[in-house]
Amino acid sequence: MRHIGFIAYLLNLTANLEPGKDIMTEEIFAHDGYLTEFEAVVSATDGDWVSLDCTAFYPGGGGQAHDTGALRGKRVEMVERRKDGIWHLCPGHGLEAGDKIWCSVDWDRRYELMKGHTAEHMLFGALNRLVPDLSIVKIDIEYGDKYVIVDRDVSWDIVSDAVASVNKAIDENLSVFKSSMDRDDPELEHIRAKLDRIEGSEISVVEIDGFDIAACGGLHVMETEEIGFVFADRKVSSGKEGYAIHFKVGEAAKKASSELAYGCLKTSEALNSKPSDVEKTAANLRSELNETRILLKKAGRALVEGAGEKRFSDIIVRYGVFPAEIDTLAEAAENWKTKGQIAVLATETDPSSVILASGDARVDCKKILANVLSSVGGRGGGKKDFARGGMSKGADPAAFIEKAISAVGNVLSIL
Ligand SMILES: [Zn+2]
């Protein structure tokens, strides 16, 4: 099939040449995405770069990654389009202008990119039917990762409906047609196109029979069945741009969907819930967890209020080890500090988190905390009036409290 395509390409070649147009590299991929082995003549070299009279190497564009392959057996690592044609990065090529060479594009990579690109048209087309004013911001079709960025978050329910309609269309084996339209053609209004991103007067249009039509200069498969299967497995915020919907095609899509399904089954087992109830169970647990946190915070605050008190002349030191969150202790320490008091607090956890805060300028919390922690095990830092740290695992928080109070006492009695 690939070679039949090439013969058709050769027959059409002269018809497609515009008189007077300076074409430095004939673009085989534009006529036949399936032709990956070809003979070419080297037109020029530029260090590790080589340009040819014709090439099947896609230089990338329209969101689709460039091809890789070989020129006379040497690896082509990059391909790029320049004003004077298409150039191939081929380190150590040893070629000269005029050399007639055999070239090959990595078919596995190219074919996956073609499937991914066609799947992207279908996925966005399906999403667009469900959310009519949805806009496409960017696409990225790489060998491993593929995504489409849309202008807003789309629920998993919508994504799964869109993916289901794409897979149905894949099973129906729709034909993919390529044609070209004049940039001024009024019909272009009915076609999804980012005309500001497309150069030239001729616009390539890709139609997936009855399913989607869009302007695109990339490479696509001829029939949807070739894609095999599509699965969207990740949604990530892209900041101001919107949301990236990542997807996979073929075997990688089947593998990802199976792994995620078994992940869900394991989660439902761990949550002791039926798979069909797993969403509801997770939502309930989350709400219970939030309520528990609120209660825990209240209990922690009440406990800390009962902190020990020690006086060095008129200065009050509040201290203790508490089964409370470090944020609760920090809140109490800030409060005592503003009243001119000193706080020496630790969490009843292993490892323990500790705080030293002072409303008395004579006490350097950062220095004392660092000294005490280095003797009882741990590290910390902060400011002169508020320092916090973490003890080593197994170190006793009571020892920290005792030594820190004694160090504070030394400062206040000496000065
Ligand atoms: Zn495309």
Mean of the pLDDT values across residues 146-169? Answer: 97
Residues of the chain above pLDDT 70, percent: 93
Q: What is the CATH number of the domain that holds 117?
A: 3.30.980.10
What tens digit of pLDDT does each residue of 266-294 get? 999 999 999 999 999 999 999 999 999 99
**Angle formed by the axes of helices 250-270 and 278-305, to 10°?**
50
**Residues 391 and 316 grouped into a single domain:** yes
Question: Given this model, what pLDDT does residue 16 score?
Answer: 39
Distance 221 CA to ligand 1 centre (A): 10
Distance 105 CA to ligand 1 centre (A): 19
Question: Given this model, what pLDDT does residue 415 score?
Answer: 53
Distance 232 CA to ligand 1 centre (A): 18
Distance 219 CA to ligand 1 centre (A): 6
**Residues 210 and 356 grouped into a single domain:** no
pLDDT-derived band at 189 (thresholds 50, 70, 90) equals: confident
Q: What is the domain extent for residue 366?
A: 305-414
**Residues 147 and 264 grouped into a single domain:** yes
Whether 334 maps to a domain, the answer reads yes
What tens digit of pLDDT does each residue of 92-122 get? 999 999 999 999 999 999 999 999 999 999 9
**Could you tell me the pTM of the whole model?**
0.75
Burial bucket for residue 57 (CB in 10 Å: 0-12, 13-18, 19+) = buried
Q: Which two tokens stand for residue 48?
A: 């590790």
Distance 223 CA to ligand 1 centre (A): 14
Distance 231 CA to ligand 1 centre (A): 18
Task: Check whether 214 has a pLDDT greater than 80.
Answer: yes
**Residues 141 and 257 grouped into a single domain:** yes
Phi-psi category of residue 239: left, alpha or beta, with phi > 0 → left and psi -120 to 50 → alpha: left
Distance 253 CA to ligand 1 centre (A): 19
Q: What is the CATH number of the domain that holds 44?
A: 2.40.30.130
Task: Check whether 3 has a pLDDT greater than 50.
Answer: no
Distance 218 CA to ligand 1 centre (A): 5
Task: Check whether 369 has a pLDDT greater than 80.
Answer: yes
User: Do the beta carbons of residue 150 and residue 134 sit within 8 Å?
Assistant: yes
Question: Given this model, what pLDDT does residue 203 score?
Answer: 87
Distance 26 CA to ligand 1 centre (A): 20
User: Which residue matches tokens 């209004």?
Assistant: 189
Distance 227 CA to ligand 1 centre (A): 14
Distance 118 CA to ligand 1 centre (A): 6
Number of domain units in the chain: 3
Distance 21 CA to ligand 1 centre (A): 25
Distance 213 CA to ligand 1 centre (A): 10
